[in-house]
């Protein structure tokens, strides 16, 4: 697998994510995106570095197994299948995502970054994924979809990280991974409590907590 193919797939998953209304599917796609990105370092031929390899394995394990496990459990608990009535509709989201990806291509070109040996589409893909994550976070109202948005956002950051993967200390990478795990974990608890408190997982209810 060439890195370009992976990047193309990641971009595709972005579009799928903003277009789908089924939460289960969104989780599946986000997980697939995570696994694809986990494979990225190996595709980039960095498998010879032992710590990078270990990190890739850890990333695949966390994103491909642990997080979907947590999310599915949360889904079962709240018994919600679909994201109905988002802040921004699916067609509009898709259009925005397209605009964002286009912008990313332009931005990546003029940003003072030095991709070096990295694949040429790495930076645009990272920006696009970031943007998609934000779009999901801003436009969706169910707590679970928010978590998915957060996952996608993190994937974007991870892609950025690949730019520097050879220089970045393993400690930082581990930190990001741990951060992600804790984030999802905490969100799981929050979802539980939102439901217990408001009998719904609509995050609009959180506004009631404002003092």
Partner 1 sequence: MSLYLTALLLVAASGIPGLFLRKRGGEVAAVLLSLGAVLGLAAAARVLLGAAPSQVQLPPSPLGHPGLLVLDPVAAWFLAPVLFLSACGAVYGIGYWGDGHPGARGLRLAYGGLAAAMALLATAAQALVFLLAWEGMAVLACLLVLTEDRDPETRRAGWTFLVTTHLGTLALFAAFALLPAARFAALPAGFAASGRGTAFFLLCLLGFGVKAGVMPFHFWLPPAHAAAPSHVSALMSGVMIKMGILGLVRVIAWTPDPPLWWGALLAGLGVVSGILGVAFALGQHDLKRLLAYHSIENIGIILMGLGLGLLGRSLGHPVLAVLGFGAALFHVWNHAAFKGLLFLAAGSAVHAAGTRALDRLGGLARRMPWTAAAFLMGAWAICGLPPLNGFVSEWLLYLGSFRALELSRWPWSVALLSALALIGALALACFAKAFGIVFLGEPRSAAAVAVHEAPGSMRWPMGLLVLACATLGLAPGLVAPALDRTVGALGVSAAPLATLARFSTLSFLGLGLVLLALLLLLWLRPKRTVEVSTWDCGYAEPTARMQYTASSFAAAPVAGFRWALLPVEHRPRLRGLFPAPARYESHVADPVLDRAAAPGLRLTARGLALLRVVQGGQLPVYLLYVLLTLMFLLLWMVL
- The three-class DSSP label of residue 22 is strand
Q: Which regions of 37-187 does DSSP assign to beta strands (E)? A: none
d(CA 170, CA 49): 11
Kindly list the residues in this chain that would bind partner 1 in the complex (CB under 8 A): 87, 107, 110-112, 127, 130-131, 134, 137-141, 146, 203-204, 206-210
137 vs 176 by CB, closer to partner 1: 137
Write out the two tokens for 206. Answer: 């959180």
Alpha-carbon distance of 167 to 151, in angstroms, equals: 24
Task: Supply the minimum distance, in Å, between the C-beta of residue 160 and partner 1.
Answer: 12
Per-residue burial over 94-124, b if 16 or more Cβ lie within 10 Å, else e, is bebbeebbeebeebbeeeeeeeeebbebbbb
Using alpha carbons, select from 125, 138, 159 the residue that is nearest to residue 13: 125
Structure tokens, 53: 């390899």
Cα separation, 76 vs 93, in Å, equals: 27
Q: In terms of CB distance, is 66 or 190 closer to partner 1?
A: 190
């Amino acid at each position: 697998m060439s890195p370009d193919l992976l990047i193309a797939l990641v971009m595709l998953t972005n579009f799928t994510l903003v277009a789908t209304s089924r939460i289960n599917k969104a989780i599946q796609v986000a997980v697939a995106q995570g696994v694809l990105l986990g494979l990225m370092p190996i595709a980039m031929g960095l498998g010879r570095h032992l710590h990078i390899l270990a990190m890739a394995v850890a990333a695949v394990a966390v994103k491909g197994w642990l997080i979907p496990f947590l999310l599915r459990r949360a889904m079962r608990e709240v018994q919600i299948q679909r994201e109905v009535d988002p802040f921004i509709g699916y067609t509009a989201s898709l259009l925005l995502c397209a605009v964002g990806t286009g912008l990313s291509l332009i931005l990546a070109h003029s940003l003072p970054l030095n991709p070096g040996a990295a694949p040429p589409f790495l930076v645009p893909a990272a920006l696009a994924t970031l943007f998609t994550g934000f779009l999901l976070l801003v436009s969706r109202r169910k707590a679970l979809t928010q978590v998915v948005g957060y996952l996608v956002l993190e994937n974007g950051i991870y892609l950025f990280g690949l730019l520097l993967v050879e220089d970045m200390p393993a400690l930082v990478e581990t930190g990001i991974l741990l951060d992600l795990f804790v984030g999802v974990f905490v969100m799981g608890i929050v979802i539980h409590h939102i439901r217990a408190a408001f009998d719904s997982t609509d995050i609009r209810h959180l506004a009631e907590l404002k003092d």
